[in-house]
Amino acid sequence: MNTFQKILFILLFSIFPSVNGASCLNVEDCRVKAKQGDSHSQYKLGQMYFDGNGVPQDYTESILWFSKSAGQGYGHSYEKLGWIYSDGRVVPLDVDKSIRMFNLAELNNKELLPSSVRLRDMLIKISREKKEKECKKKSQCDHITKLKIKTYIQEMNELSLITASKLTMEKRDIYQRWCSLTRDKINKLLDKCRCNESHIKELKNKLYITCEVWEE
């Protein structure tokens, strides 16, 4: 576990309110009320399991009760889950899910702690940078790929100038098959460009228009 994760884990124990509130007096009282569907008691029981306060520490049980409470719109539980999913120790790190939990906490009328706001902002930045990096990597149709696409399109444009009615059925069938195969090749090349640029989309549109004459 790196230093950043250690700090997050310490904060998980320290920044959230104590479970010794008025809604349930002890573990058994909280358990009874939690099973009856009281969202605040579910949150407190989850906190008890997370801290090992009055019960053996059990992160799985803790997340279960936080999730039940959050499912009823209890903002504190959403906020707690936001921290848990950002840590990577209790459950696998899930930046996007962590951001979503913090957002849901706000949507359920929970004013986020300043530390939660800072963490969410940092996670949003990390998520954006990661997605931009992946998008840039996937969208880089190298120069050779672009030349191949343009060459195919140029050949098909020249082919489209030939009047289909002037060809024998045999040659027309040959051109039609060639057009279909070429279109498949171009589509495979375009699939490499996961974040398609506008001019790539334009080439793809031209491809279908060019082939229409041979598919009538």
Q: State pLDDT tens for residues 78-101.
A: 999 999 999 888 889 999 999 999
Q: Tell me how far apart the terminal alpha carbons of the chain are, to the nearest angstrom.
A: 63
Rg of the Cα atoms in the chain: 29
Q: What is the mean pLDDT of residues 12-41?
A: 73
Give the 3-state DSSP-derived string for 116-152, with helices as H, strands as E and coil as C.
HHHHHHHHHHHHHHHHHHHHHHHHCCCHHHHHHHHHH
Backbone angles phi, psi at 36, to 5 degrees: -80, -5
Q: Which of 70, 83, 63 is nearest to 14 (CA)?
A: 83
pLDDT of res. 72: 92
Q: What is the mean pLDDT of residues 95-120?
A: 90
Task: Quote the crossing angle between the two packed helices 169-191 and 143-160, to the nearest 10°.
Answer: 160
Q: What is the mean pLDDT of residues 115-136?
A: 86
Cα separation, 149 vs 140, in Å, equals: 14
Q: What is the mean pLDDT of residues 152-166?
A: 64
Domain ranges for the chain, please list them: 3-136, 143-215
Q: Which of 12-16, 141-145, 152-156 has the highest mean pLDDT?
A: 152-156
| Per-residue pLDDT reduced to its tens digit, 185-199 | 777 766 665 545 555
Superfamily of domain 3-136, CATH level 4: Tetratricopeptide repeat domain (1.25.40.10)
Cα separation, 123 vs 11, in Å, equals: 16
Q: What is the mean pLDDT of residues 25-44?
A: 91
pTM check: above 0.85: no
The residue with greater pLDDT, 163 or 148, is 148
